[in-house]
Chains A and B, each alone.
Chain A
Amino acid sequence: MREPLLSAQGVSVRFGGLVAVDEVDLAVHAGELVGVIGPNGAGKTTFFHALSGILVPTSGRIVVVGDDLTGKSAHAFARHGIARTFQTPRVFKEMPAIDNIRFGLEFAGRTRKHAHDAFDEPEAILEFLGLADVAAVPAGGLTPSKQRLLEIGMALGARPRVLLLDEVAAGLTHTEVELTAQLIRRVRDELGLAVIWIEHAVRVLMDYVERVAVLHQGRKIADGDPRAVAKDAGVIEAYLGDEGEPAVEPTRKAA
């Protein structure tokens, strides 16, 4: 079997007595688009912090393309090709949009090449995202939905092998969500990335991913085909228990 690009092995994160992430295993391969869902407080974002080196897991290992990066700083993860976005967009507000994109190209992605060079220029990435006309605008002056797009661009600038998306659809209109989902698919297809996508608004995600993992109270309770996961008794229980709405049914056949 191919070596996974990113693999979390028995990862736990504890804050004092609270277990935020509990013995989670997850491996992703090149070209995979994996969704991670779960009710509020399930530990999704904490898990992402561990995957991107922002938090050091209390136990377990994180292996990136064969290298054990457990305990390394976030910049080591970035240089190994892990790029991410944040729930609340964290762009460099004072810098022009184009410099936000250039940042990753100059640092994390400096020694790597993209699968093809369409994304090796900051201008090309902005163009791809439809942000070419705001290249010179300081990022803080963009609308929230454009900042979200720009953050995806920042991650693409890092020439990633694995893209971690933390609720990129939150706060977007329905049309914008669809467009973002299509965009994510396109970068995955064109660049052969592995993408892990966390979302609270589960429906869109279930339509677009080929595999979904469910976190509940820090544990992974399901991992597999979205249609199978949606029927899983434990998953329905977790969502019903939490919000009384089993929102995980896909509306469309995943293509």
Chain B
Amino acid sequence: MSRFTLRDSILATLLAALVLSAMPWLMSDFALALTLTCLMYAGLAVSWAMFCGATNYLSLATAAFFGMGAYVTAWGAETLAYGLAVLLGGLAAAVFAALVGAAVLHLRGAYFAVITFGLGELVRHGITYYEKAYAGTVGRVISDPPETVTIYHTVLLLTALAVVTALAVRASRLGLALRGIGSDEERARTLGVDTRRAKVLAFSLSAFFPGALGAAMAMRWTYIDPLSVFNPFIGFQTVLIAMVGGAHTILGPIASSVLFSLLTEYLRLQFPYLFLVILGLLLILLVLYLPGGLASLLDRWRWGKSRA
């Protein structure tokens, strides 16, 4: 990927988005739904890797950001325009991430993972309590949702934006600072990086996309409750996809989210009772034999070609 300039990569992303934007008129409903899932996970995994891949942090907060976005939509569905709800969902998650990040980003490894996981649960229970106590409900029906095509285009736009942002961050000083933090944080400080500021900024930026995607997807599900939108599996799945793809790359998580979504769907149809077992086994094999992710396959292939 490094052989392409930033401009080439952004152009390629926009071109791919343009092609994908025609799909609602070319695909069956089933294929379109599958593409939508691929796109959602691609957006989630790329934005996760934007921060975590470079810095070697393990965040399980994706579900929290996603759920917050979904609830912004649910609460604002009747008063806010759809586009505005999506934007606000992203901003809410970004502000939340900045506040939380300032408090817990000095933690590393398992501590950070556990704290971010706990955060999701905290927000979920907080919202459940609020809904029960003040709104007298647990779930919410979103009346008058936009057309599937509109939702598809929103998710496509957000995912393309996530990829472009990830590309720009990687090429920027912020990206260099994040890689330094991932390699040796104290060393980065002794070379002049305000590591706290860089981390909070990047964590907040990376939270915008899951927030906005949550807000968009809530419209598609039309009925949401805390358990479904703060589902920790969204967080785990995102981390797995990014890691299987190669979290230090951008193309890796994209490829892996397509592979994952298709594989899950295929296995679910072919082996309805065994599909989770098979998926689990595949994951274990991938992690054991391909620790650098799918992206490392590409590296190996290039290396092999250059030697031949």
A and B: interacting chains: yes
Residues of A with Cβ closer than 8 Å to B?
52-54, 73-75, 77-79, 83-84, 86, 90, 92-95, 99, 102-104, 106-110, 154, 157-158
Which residues in B have their C-beta under 8 angstroms from that of A109? 192
Could you say which interface size class chain B belongs to? 10 to 19
Contact B176 A78 (CB under 8 A): no
Chain B contacts with A in 48-80, Cβ cutoff 8 A: none
- Name the residue in A75, A79, A84, A93 with the highest tally of chain B Cβ atoms < 10 Å from its Cβ: A75
CB nearest to A106 among chain B residues: B173
Chain A residues with Cβ below 8 Å from B194 are 73, 75
Neighbouring B residues of A73 by C-beta, 8 Å: 189, 194
Minimum C-beta distance from B105 to chain A (A): 14
Contacts A54-B186, A92-B180 given; 15 further ones with Cβ under 8 A?
A53-B189, A53-B190, A75-B193, A75-B194, A77-B190, A83-B190, A86-B187, A90-B186, A92-B183, A93-B183, A95-B180, A95-B183, A103-B188, A106-B173, A107-B173
- Scoring B residues 229 to 244 as 1 if CB is less than 8 Å from chain A, else 0, what string do you get? 0000000000000000
Check: B179 CB closer than 8 A to any chain A CB: yes
- Distance in angstroms from A78 CB to nearest chain B CB is 4
CB distance from B224 to the nearest CB of A (A): 41
**Which 8 residue pairs are nearest across A and B when measured between Cβ atoms?**
A108-B192, A107-B192, A78-B192, A74-B189, A92-B183, A104-B191, A90-B187, A75-B189
> Is the Cβ of A102 less than 8 Å from the Cβ of B191?
no
* A107 in contact with B193 (CB, 8 Å): yes
Q: Is the CB of A103 within 8 A of B180?
A: yes
- The answer to whether A78 touches B190, judged by C-beta atoms less than 8 angstroms apart, is yes
In chain B, positions 181-211 with a C-beta closer than 8 Å to chain A are 182-184, 186-195
Q: Show 8 A/B contacts (Cβ-Cβ < 8 Å), sorted by A.
A: A83-B190, A84-B190, A94-B182, A95-B180, A99-B179, A107-B188, A107-B192, A157-B191
Shortest CB-to-CB span from B246 to chain A, Å, is 13
Bound-complex Cα distance A163 to B239 (A): 42
A77 contacts which chain B residues (CB < 8 A)?
190
Shortest C-beta distance, A166 to chain B (Å), equals 11
Q: How far is the CA of A54 from the CA of B191 in the complex (A)?
A: 12
Which residues from chain A contact B183 at a C-beta distance below 8 Å? 92-95
A-side contacts of B182, CB under 8 Å: 94
Expressed in whole angstroms, the Cα–Cα distance for A79 and B192 within the complex equals 5
Give complex CA distance A52, B191 in Å: 10
B177 within 8 A of A: yes
Q: Which residue of A lies closest to B179 (CB)?
A: A95
Q: Please report which residues of chain B, range 142-191, place their CB below 8 angstroms from some CB of chain A when the two chains form the complex.
A: 173, 176-177, 179-180, 182-184, 186-191
Residues A92 and B192 in contact, CB atoms below 8 Å apart: no
Tell me whether A90 and B189 are in contact in the complex, defined as CB-CB below 8 angstroms, given that A75-B194, A95-B179, A102-B176 are known contacts.
Answer: no
Chain B residues within 8 Å of A110, by CB: 192
CA distance A53 to B191 in the complex (A): 11
Q: Say which residue of A93, A94, A103 sits within 8 Å of B191 (CB atoms).
A: A103
Across the two chains, which residue of chain B brings its CB closest to A78? B192
- Kindly list chain A residues whose C-beta atoms are within 8 Å of the C-beta of B189: 53-54, 73-75, 78
Bound form: Cα–Cα A73–B194 in Å:
8
- Asked if residues A106 and B176 are in contact (CB atoms below 8 Å), the reply is yes
- Write the nearest CB–CB distance from A134 to chain B, whole angstroms: 17
User: For the complex, what is the distance from the CA of A104 to the CA of B193, rounded to whole Å?
Assistant: 9
Are B176 and A75 closer than 8 Å at their CB atoms? no
- In the assembled complex, the CB of A43 is this many whole angstroms from the nearest CB of chain B, namely 19
A203 to chain B, nearest CB (A): 29
Can you name the residue of chain A whose Cβ is closest to the Cβ of B177?
A: A107
